[in-house]
Amino acid sequence: MGTALTILDLNSVVLALVLGLTFLVLFEIMRLHVSKGRTPPGPRPLPFLGTIDSIKDPLGSARSMHQYGEMTTVYIGRQPVIVLNTLQITREALVQDASAFSGRPTLPVIDWITNGLGIILVSGHSWKQQRRFALHTLRNFGLGKKSLQERVIEEGHYLVDEMLKEEGTAFDPQHVIQNAVSNIICSIVFGDRFEYDNKHFAYLLKILNENFMLAGSLLGQIFNMVPFIKHFPGPHQKIIQNANELLGFIRGEVKEHRQTLDPENPRDFIDAYLLEMEKQKSNEDSTFHEENMLMSTADLFLAGTDTTATTIRWGLIFLMENPEVQERCHEEIVQVLGYDRLPSMDDRDKLPYTCATVHEIQRCANIVPFSVLHATTQPTKLRGYDIPKGMMIATNLTRILSDEKHWKSPDTFNPENFLDENGHFYKPEAFIVFSVGSRACLGETLAKTELFVFITSLLQRLHFSWPPNSQRPDMDGIVGLVRFPQPFRTICLSRDTKV
């Protein structure tokens, strides 16, 4: 009798679980049906899992989204995301209605790392205070001025010399490029640069790159759907371990700055932030405190390192795949600068083909396929749709940067996309790799300077080619928070300097 009751109880539990799960699935299907009726069309999501194709193959998904119209709705787990597929509707939302579209969404994996602090991924009052201060401080320490350009020019010279140490041998250029780019933002934020053989700094750059991949990978997407897994062991714990190591490095820099701070002569961003914290002590509305300093510094360090370095790495791939472009750039550079005069931003007008090539590298690299996610800060309307507060908004840069309406050769690497009929450089309005509106890239000026000076310096002095019998990397790359090229090796040779 007891055994029969136990079996009956067990059957009842199983039946209750099955009915409960069935009810949850049916409820979710109904919720999705109602939600889809209120949002722009898009691929059919699965209950709880969302739009699987956009997770499994984000680049392929981005390329096909325009079939649904100017706006597409996809789902990250249970969360709808409205994707803007055209330049016109992107400007309509992010520029014309900037205040309503200037927020950032709450993503569990990002919140886990940032605790809702910093500059890039926050919204509202804190973002306004931190961004205003960062822009003002970066300008004070050279952003947009000759002094900073001189640092970039000097670092470009160091980068060429460092690559020449590997002349004639196949090597992975990731570290030297990342170190060179990072040295510029480090000189502003920390007041110093780091040598290419500094093993501790090389390790920090490695885990920085790793976190960009992990946070945007399938692992990061799973975390966003079931964030309570942060309390359990697993590969996702590597994300927070890496973030803590980076913050530990910054804490060490802050401690050193505190001990040597001269209030009359701030040396860099950290000094300026320490002084601002003191100044804002009595302001109850202030967002300037120790933890925000650490995360804002980390934001500048991360954003000023990885995106530009990744673009240059893609650039080497495109130049090796298109040797005729590489040769034409080199000939133009040597004709204007010779082999010895280092390039500067003042040379852009005299180097139209090279300038066009740098921009074409950015277009084809497409390192942030959906741009940085936005969120609505208030209820608004867009093309007849009622958009609630908190809706996630993505810009389909993959489509906009390859839209045949705006580009002569949308699907191939061709610098002619940025040249007019007279061979002069021009920039199509669809070139919005730094985004548009109030949340456009904070470091756009710096990134433009680094990309032009570094790439021109490399093409002036070096020739790049694939190692014999090397396997070409998949041109879709690896999509995380940033679209990275797969690891590759290159052979660089010094150009003959006899003119």
Question: pLDDT tens digits, residue range 141-155?
Answer: 876 666 889 999 999
Label residue 106 exposed, middle or buried (CB < 10 Å: 0-12, 13-18, 19+). Answer: middle
Which amino acid, 218?
L
Q: Is 356 in the same domain as 464?
A: yes
Residue 234 counted as domain residue: yes
Q: Is 284 in the same domain as 172?
A: yes
Residue 65 counted as domain residue: no
Q: Is 6 in the same domain as 123?
A: no
What pLDDT, on the 0 to 100 scale, is given for residue 498?
Answer: 41
pLDDT at 132 over 70: yes
Q: Is 438 in the same domain as 291?
A: yes
Q: Is 274 in the same domain as 167?
A: yes
Q: Is 129 in the same domain as 33?
A: no
Q: With contact defined as beta carbons under 8 Å apart, do 223 and 112 qualify?
A: yes
The CA dihedral of 394, 305, 472, 360, to the nearest 10 degrees, is 60
Q: Is the dihedral of CA 229, 235, 239, 240 positive or negative?
A: positive
Tens of pLDDT, residues 233-286: 988 899 999 999 999 999 999 999 999 999 999 999 999 999 999 999 888 889
Residue 456 counted as domain residue: yes
Q: What is the CATH number of the domain that holds 323?
A: 1.10.630.10
Half-sphere exposure of 452 (CA within 13 A, CB side): 22
In the chain, the number of structural domains is 2
Q: What is the pTM of this model?
A: 0.92
Q: Is 34 in the same domain as 134?
A: no
Q: Is 305 in the same domain as 453?
A: yes
Q: Is 17 in the same domain as 139?
A: no
Q: Is 436 in the same domain as 342?
A: yes
Q: Is 16 in the same domain as 157?
A: no
Q: With contact defined as beta carbons under 8 Å apart, do 352 and 336 qualify?
A: no
Residue 285 counted as domain residue: yes
pLDDT at 301 over 80: yes
Quickly state the pLDDT bin for 23 (edges 50, 70, 90).
low
For residues 158 and 138, the model is more confident at 158
Residues 6+ apart with CB under 8 A from 493: 167, 168, 462, 463, 465
Residue 300 counted as domain residue: yes
Residue 63 counted as domain residue: no
Q: Is 33 in the same domain as 130?
A: no
Residue 473 counted as domain residue: yes
Domain that holds residue 22: 2-38
Mean pLDDT of 105-113: 90
Residues 6+ apart with CB under 8 A from 262: 271
The CA dihedral of 354, 347, 482, 398, to the nearest 10 degrees, is -50
Q: Cα separations (Å) of 354 from 338, 357, 419, 456?
A: 14, 5, 10, 7
pLDDT at 54 over 70: yes
Residue 97 counted as domain residue: no
